[in-house]
Amino acid sequence: LPWAIAAAAAALATGWGLSVVQPSLAIVPLGLFLLLCGTAPFFPSWGFFGPTVTRGRADPPGVALTFDDGPDPSTTGPLLDLLRERGIRAAFFVVGRNAATHPDLVRRMAAEGHEVGNHSASHDVLLMLRGSRTIARELDRCSEALDAVGVRTRAFRPPVGIVGPRLFPVLRRRGMFAVAFSRRARDFGNRRVAGLADRLLPGVRSGDIVLLHDGPVVDEAGTQRWLEEVRHVLDGLAAKGLAVRPLSEHIDRSVNG
């Protein structure tokens, strides 16, 4: 935990120094450190608790397209059809229980050249508040579901992109690394599909790791509207001169294998 340890040491040293001058001031740097610890999980790009990939290379111009929470027959199959039609390879961060239920979709992802990452076994949004054993179990169960269909992954994306201090030792022991994102449509896991492309595209720039979802659409707009929004995203990226490249190529780091 390089930054967290450095910040803790600085807070202690500053607190000790202030206590010599005015004892009541010693609590200030310690309070700031605790505030930082409470804020950092929501900003993985800070690397406060450990290194997290949030962007890729910007030259040549391009982005990586990633999808979370699948696979699901209602969305993943049509999405794979669209990506095949466009000749685009994406990265899918799958939930273990969904991968175990729909192994054929995971096989298809891999067979069609997409990359597959670990998104935990159950998508517990409070996972980073759990103990190390629970975090390890969630990673391992998802990896087991992927192993069962011949897919091995090094990349883990924590649920809702929140990181914590217990995650990184677990990843290191498994030879894995954390991947988050730098641009998202705030679709709330396909609960807000309408206007997805219009929210996403204006802020996209070269080097971004773009987050979308292929979990079931619960927005009233429906699955077909969601698929049209994804089409608009692909069209918009092309109009901006941004190629969609595989995540491993984008971050110069192996994801599968």
Just list the catalytic residues: 68, 213
- Of 255, 212, 228, the residue nearest 116 (C-alpha): 255
Contact between 127 and 99 (Cβ < 8 Å): no
Amino acid found at 149: V
Amino acid found at 71: P
Q: How many CA atoms lie within 13 A of 187 on its CB side?
A: 33
Q: What angle do CA 143, 149, 152 make, to 5 degrees?
A: 45
- Of 70, 129, 128, 125, the residue nearest 101 (C-alpha): 70
Residue 156, beta-bridge partner list: 118, 178
Contact between 242 and 209 (Cβ < 8 Å): no
> Torsion-angle region of residue 243: left (phi > 0), alpha (psi -120 to 50) or beta?
beta
Under DSSP, the state recorded for 190 is: T
The rounded distance, in Å, linking the Cα atoms of 55 and 211 is: 11
The rounded distance, in Å, linking the Cα atoms of 213 and 195 is: 14
